[in-house]
Chains A and B, each alone.
Chain A
Amino acid sequence: MLTGSKTTFKVRQMLPDIKERMLSQSGVNARSRDVFGLRCLPGECVLQRVVMVRKKLTAREGRGWLSGTLFCTHFRVAFVPQDSPKVDDNADPVLLGDHDVALASIEKVVVVGPNRTKLVTPNSSLKFTPEELVLYCRDMRVICFLFDRLTPDAQVLEITYTIAKTYQPLRPGSVLSFQNAALGSVEMKQFLSNRRRDAQVNWFESASDWEQELERCGATSWRVSSVNDRFEMSTSLSRFIVVPQKVLDTELKKSFAHFNEGRIPRWCWRHPRGSDLLRMASFQNNIYHEKDDIRNLEMVLFGCRSSLCVVVELGEELPSPADVQLALGRLRALCLGDISTSVSVPDDKWLSTLESTHWLDYIRACLRKASEVACLLRGGHLTVALQEAEDRDLGCLVSSLVQLMCDPLCRTRHGFQSLVQKEWVAAGHRFCSRGNYHRDNDKEEAPVFLLFLDCVWQLWFQFPSRFQLTDEFLLAVHDSVHLPLFSTFLANCQRERCKRSQNLGQSYTPVNGWRDALHPDSSSDPADPPLPPVWDWALQYSRERQARFTQPVPPAPPLQPLLNGNLNTHPDSHRMNDTPPGSVFLLSRGTFTCPANLPPWRSGSSGVYKKSHRRALSSESVPGLERLLKAWSLSEFPQNPAPGSGPQGPQGPQGPTDAYEPLLPLLMGPCMGLWRGCYLRGALHAQAFSHPVSSLAHPVERLAREVQQLQARLAQASSPEPSPPAVTAEPRRPDANLNQNTNNGTFLFPASRAPAPPTAPPRAGSKNHHAPWAPPPAAAPAPRPGNKDSPGGNKHTFLFGHSSAPEARPDPRYYQLAGAAKLPKSSGPPLSS
């Protein structure tokens, strides 16, 4: 998907290659792409190397030990296993191998010697020779290397000192030097500036991105306003915001002053039953208000059809960012133990200590709040506005959780990435401050985004079959947050991102000219390396590992595209027609109130509101709203007789018929899990009696692959023309880079729209990708009706359902996403293996 263009490839290959060969021949162990088996980045220097090191493998990696060579460069600690396949020199640079740790992710370096353990700091000197080197990482990995007895002491000491001196945990500016080490070379800059962005992700940067989302959700009475185009109205909001059609920009402009940081109510998402989700900051009540202001606010809140608005205050029942920071700190300490003294919480106190971190409580509070909102939205025809003081932390979290619960698209990998772009990146979550990447503001540090990831994991854990993405993907996002390399996380708002890229200037013009000149997010400057977005996974993960980010065969609830928000055509018993138009309710602690003084500046003159607008503040609809919430608690009861009590005969695909029925998690104490795969990854005690587990894939995975192959065969057998879908024509194998580069000649078209069929040699290509025993496609004439419409054919079953009417022609936007959802199918490891 994202690759350098052909042109830059040549440049990159020519220059360093000559240099490298010379250097390695002269025996200098630096500045080459392949140093003693380590594939270096351009400009990366190997500082130390020790052979015959064994790495302890985690349960996920299959446990046991792996022998190989340990390296320390000025960018990472790398480990190259023995007999690891030699990588093609022409392959794109990968920042980190499967066994590598970036120096910036290391939190502590600990050595274990005979009968003792010592924390190694840049200044410490060791009085013993380490037998074991343990790296504690910020992302909660614990990586353990064992030195061989035959390795000279000096070598062991040197690499330990080198790592301790180079990782420099707290020095200001270390982030920048780390970034330079990784991305600062001319070759890397050029490489990055020619990366194409993933067209399957909605980046929510341009007006058209937002318009695309409005159209997808069928939110017709909303429009994209560019009133904040130059960040004059609100510095922390994005350039484009979505507001009601009815409200003019001039009216809108007056509203900004009444909200904290000018973060006025903006549209985020529309439920197919016609409810809209809005976000806003708290009201500014220390300025003078005119009558018009109130009218404007009402316009913004009620601008669209709905007659009822529920303001959900997020402050009260949810943790503050400081709480989150404290809780994660405790959780880390608990899971990793006190590193310096190697004292960990005694096993018999584990549960109560885990409870006292409050981490799980906070997750539950967030999920509960999101479930409430999801239930309100499901009721249909109302507006739910999430209000948070600053609207930059838990607003992001709750709003995106609600969409994950309600919108199946968000549960795909690309949909999730788009969601994060919309609700976190564009909405101005202060990633940079909250992550405290520069170690200069501890007060602001708060892993709100990590709390969100854990909430998503909980949902995934309870409903794995409703997700296309996997926990491995969540883990990859989690780990990337701790790597200060991505533009996604290294700015606090869109303005900062734009500023950075504009100030940097453009010394290298993008070769393909595809990028919008206004937003060169990865332009280069000798001083400041261009930062890639985190979603450019190829920089970090091999194709094999990326393939595991999604389920081999995505779960297929009968999804319909959101057609103009018209799912509400069937009668809805909870629709509240009796509500007088324009009522505002406040939801707090599970109860609804009609606030006399919302917005606060009308306090004392609440009558004005009623009179001037002739709207009765009816409390009659309160029971209706409460019924919506009650439906949630009832829905925790099973709809069917317990499946365990009946004979568990063959059961067809389960799941509600309505794909937009929200996923409401169980929130009882016993149902909240600890994300062991993340927090207990490195827990060494867990491996006391470890034993290598089966190398075979889990039977589910194997069955999934089988289904995948059948699908492919079916696609082949049923397509009369030898025209495999575009996605399969795109080479996905790691060794196919040359092909990929030639494909990239067509970079003007987003990958998934590439009109592959006429050009690609289809039969050969598809044969390679599908089962080796697949029948020749040409021999199968019988076409399946309805599959001929789009070039994707029945490849699009995932989003459109198998039985979607033939005439329902997919809109190209959905087609794109459908392609996205489908991609992983063909991206698995070679099937014959």
Chain B
Amino acid sequence: MASPVSVYNSNALDPHIRSPPREALKMEFLADVTLLPGEDRITDKDIIYICPFNGAVKGKVLITNYRLYFRSSDADVTVAVTLDVPLGAISRVEKMGGASSRGENSYGLDITCKDMRNLRFALKQEGHSRRDIFENLFRYAFPLSHNLPLFAYVTQEKYAEVGWSIYNPVEEFRRQGLPNKKWRISFTNKSYELCDTYPTVLAVPVRSTEDDLKRVAAFRSRGRIPVLSWIHRENQAVIVRCSQPLVGMSGKRNKDDERYLDLIREANDTPKLTIYDARPNVNAVANKATGGGYEGDEYQNAELVFLDIQNIHVMRESLKKLKDIVYPNVEESHWLSSLESTHWLEHVKLVLSGAIQVADKVCSGNSVVVHCSDGWDRTAQLTSLAMLMLDSHYRTLRGFQVLIEKEWISFGHKFASRIGHGDKNHADQDRSPIFVQFIDCVWQMTKQFPTAFEFNEHLLLTILDHLYSCRFGTFLYNCESARDANEVRLKTVSLWALVNSRMDIYLNPFYTPESGRVLYPVASMRHLELWVSYYIRWNPRIQQQQQSPVEQRYRELLALRDEYLKKLEQLQLSDSSTSSDLANSSTPNTTPSSTSTPSQYTHLQTPL
């Protein structure tokens, strides 16, 4: 038997950089490591990586202003180990042991990452060997805490497509058929005066004046007024998003807000407007104490539904518990009950079933208003998932980018606070994996509808990796006004530039476009699955499954098809003198190609 040498590579990030630009690095340590343009080596060192799967592995570590790179050096270790971790993914660096600690490998660094793993390194105790590496890590992993720029502002990457143009709000509204008789486009927020966390372009009822908007803004938390997110082409039902009304303990009313919501209802002339409050009922009540609250009976022609989705703190703790049972070792003895006790899947289920209710309501012709407390976490989850169910455009590769740009980035999901880009304060209570949870929900949908999405799991993984990496400007800052102030679009590269430069690797070969189909996933624990290839991907046993078996089968078939096509072609070439008939019959098919695009696929289907 072959010796069980296996290489596993913990880098899931960078399929793009293949041809190494090795400028002037020839003599250096780990010289063959491919760096990004603008990435600089900071320090390197001999180190021991305490791998939770293979034990201590001797090797070398390289730290740049973008990444931590480790490679094992021992020739005789059975498993070669490579680590390639963007510094942005690090949430905490700690020293482990002191100069006097006893025991093997007890002196070193303990690194906690945002992407579901921990890294431990051991160093020699002599001569403060870790001081330098610790300080550099600390400095470059948390640049904002050290008055350094984020790497997105340092990188010199260039791409053919400028990813920033993927989403243009006016164009997107036009695609939805707006403005129309009932809805107009408002630029009243162009200098973020109405609401500093909203985008500049908003769609509001035609009959509402700019003054109305201002008065409504006064009654909605942080001025996040109800605005249109999506409109159903046929029945004109809309998804409207906002923040909670400022009802407070005294139960204040605001006639303008009430009238404004009624304008939304009138727009497609349905008897009732449904308001989905994403929170559990108790939380909504509790919010009254801090000046918030929910729409009461004074809102005529409206019904209020609570969706029971927990807040950011509950979600953070839940994911932490999940990490505890999957990293480094998967809880073996009581896996399912351990999984249940994290409640992660249950939260995913509640988010999905909330979105299903929204989508179903809209599909049946009723307009809905969605809000939570501030309308930037749960609200974004619900509206974007409902739109993904309702509108097949968002299920394409580019459409999905638009959806994220629109519902998450432009409407001010607080990425900077939730992720803590470049910030050393790892215990910040504002951090929460809300966006990860959304991507998990999308993954659940792709599992249940394997042919409905143009993109594949690899895209979702890439998005989550760069959510933390700080290599692209896409997920930086909390809102558009902050992005404008920091000139994100001028000075950084968009993640979509990277994605759209190699679209083929993000395409789902099984995609079958069906516009107009509404997807209702089954939101039941019986049918939800843990996203193993994300949450447990650092476990080397799981990686084996990264390419789905079905996809593998598809590629096998593709290879087989190409082989046959080639053979047929050869036969026909050798044969063309005697039979022209044969050559004619197969012309449409004789284009053997190694990758398949959906269009090519349908082309091939036509003769059948």
Contacts and interface: CB of A to CB of B under 8 A. Distances in A.
Interface of A: 347-352, 354-356, 360, 378, 461-465, 553, 555-556, 572-574, 631, 634-654, 666, 668-671, 676, 680, 683, 685-691, 693-694, 696, 698-700, 702-707, 709-711, 713-714, 717-718, 771, 773-776, 779-782, 831-832
Interface stretch (B9-17, B102-110, B181-189, B224-232): B9-17
A709 to B, nearest CB: 8
B26 interface: no
B561 interface: yes
11 contacts: A348-B340, A636-B541, A637-B541, A641-B9, A651-B555, A653-B559, A668-B335, A691-B518, A698-B451, A714-B564, A782-B571
Contact of A707 (B4, B518, B519, B564): B564
Interface string B4-28: 1011110111011010000000000
Contacts of B581: 775-776, 779
Contacts of A644: 12, 458, 461, 533, 537, 543, 546-547
B525 A350 contact: yes
Contact of A642 (B343, B546, B559, B571): B546
A699 to B, nearest CB: 4
B545 interface: yes
Given A686-B524, A773-B585, 18 more contacts: A350-B525, A555-B556, A634-B6, A643-B543, A646-B15, A650-B559, A652-B556, A669-B330, A669-B336, A670-B326, A676-B526, A680-B527, A683-B526, A698-B451, A699-B512, A703-B554, A775-B579, A780-B579
A690 B12 CA distance: 36
Interface stretch (B150-158, B433-441, B600-608): B600-608
A574 B9 CA distance: 28
B571 A680 contact: no
Contacts of A572: 1
A463 B343 CA distance: 30
Interface in B549-586: 549-550, 552-561, 564-565, 567-568, 571-572, 574-575, 578-579, 581-582, 585-586
Nearest to B18: A647
Given A651-B555, A666-B541, A671-B532, A782 B574 contact: yes
B594 interface: yes
A574 B2 CA distance: 10
Chain B interface size, as a band, is 35 or more
Contact of A654 (B13, B556, B564, B589): B556
B547 A648 contact: yes
Given A637-B541, A710-B565, A354 B336 contact: yes
Contacts of B543: 638, 642-644
A464 B582 contact: no
A717 B330 contact: no
Given A649-B595, A779-B582, A780-B582, A640 B553 contact: no
Q: Which 10 A-B pairs have the closest CB atoms?
A: A669-B335, A644-B546, A650-B594, A355-B336, A689-B520, A352-B337, A351-B340, A710-B564, A350-B525, A634-B4
Contacts of A710: 561, 564-565, 568, 589
Given A636-B541, A666-B545, A690-B520, A700 B554 contact: yes
Contacts of B522: 686-689
Contact of A703 (B16, B539, B547, B561): B561
B540 interface: yes
A637 B540 contact: yes
A676 B527 contact: yes
A668 B330 contact: yes
Interface of B: 1, 4, 6-9, 11-13, 15-16, 18, 78-79, 326, 330-332, 334-337, 339-341, 343, 345-346, 349, 356, 360, 449-451, 458, 461, 502, 505, 509-512, 514, 517-520, 522, 524-527, 530, 532-533, 536-537, 539-547, 549-550, 552-561, 564-565, 567-568, 571-572, 574-575, 578-579, 581-582, 585-586, 589, 594-595, 601, 604-605, 607-608
Given A640-B7, A714-B567, A670 B335 contact: yes
B1 A573 contact: yes
B549 A462 contact: yes
B549 A465 contact: yes
B337 A351 contact: yes
B461 to A, nearest CB: 7
Contacts of B517: 691, 694
A48 to B, nearest CB: 34
A688 B352 CA distance: 14
Contacts of A652: 555-556, 559
A355 B337 contact: yes
B597 to A, nearest CB: 12
Contacts of B568: 710, 713-714, 717
B560 A351 contact: no
Nearest to B595: A650
B525 A347 contact: yes
Contacts of A642: 8-9, 12, 543, 546
Nearest to B563: A802
A232 to B, nearest CB: 45
B526 A700 contact: no
Contacts of B335: 355, 668-670
Q: Which of A354, A687, A689 has the most CB of B within 10 A?
A: A689
B506 to A, nearest CB: 9
B527 A670 contact: no
B462 to A, nearest CB: 10
Nearest to B3: A573
Nearest to B533: A644
A700 B557 CA distance: 8
Given A354-B336, A355-B336, A464-B549, A637 B557 contact: no
A637 B8 contact: yes
Given A641-B9, A669-B331, A704 B557 contact: yes
A700 B510 contact: yes
Contacts of A643: 543, 546-547
Contacts of A782: 571, 574-575
A666 B345 CA distance: 22
Contacts of B582: 717, 775-776, 779-780
Q: Which of B336, B537, B547 has the most CB of A within 10 A?
A: B336
Q: Which of B509, B560, B581 has the most CB of A within 10 A?
A: B560
B605 A650 contact: no
B445 to A, nearest CB: 13
Nearest to A687: B522
Nearest to A352: B337
A706 B604 contact: yes
Contact of B560 (A347, A649, A707): A707
Nearest to B510: A699
A654 B505 contact: no
Contacts of B549: 461-465
B331 A699 contact: no
A38 B267 CA distance: 52
A671 B545 contact: yes
Contact of A694 (B514, B539, B550, B607): B514
A707 B556 CA distance: 11
A780 B571 contact: yes
Contacts of B579: 775, 779-780
A142 to B, nearest CB: 13
A445 B398 CA distance: 56
B313 to A, nearest CB: 19
A775 B524 CA distance: 51
B605 A702 contact: yes
Given A646-B15, A671-B545, A691-B518, A703 B558 contact: yes
A705 B604 CA distance: 12
Given A347-B349, A653-B560, A668-B332, A637 B608 contact: no
A646 to B, nearest CB: 6
Given A349-B340, A685-B524, A635 B4 contact: yes
Contacts of A714: 564, 567-568, 571
B557 A707 contact: yes
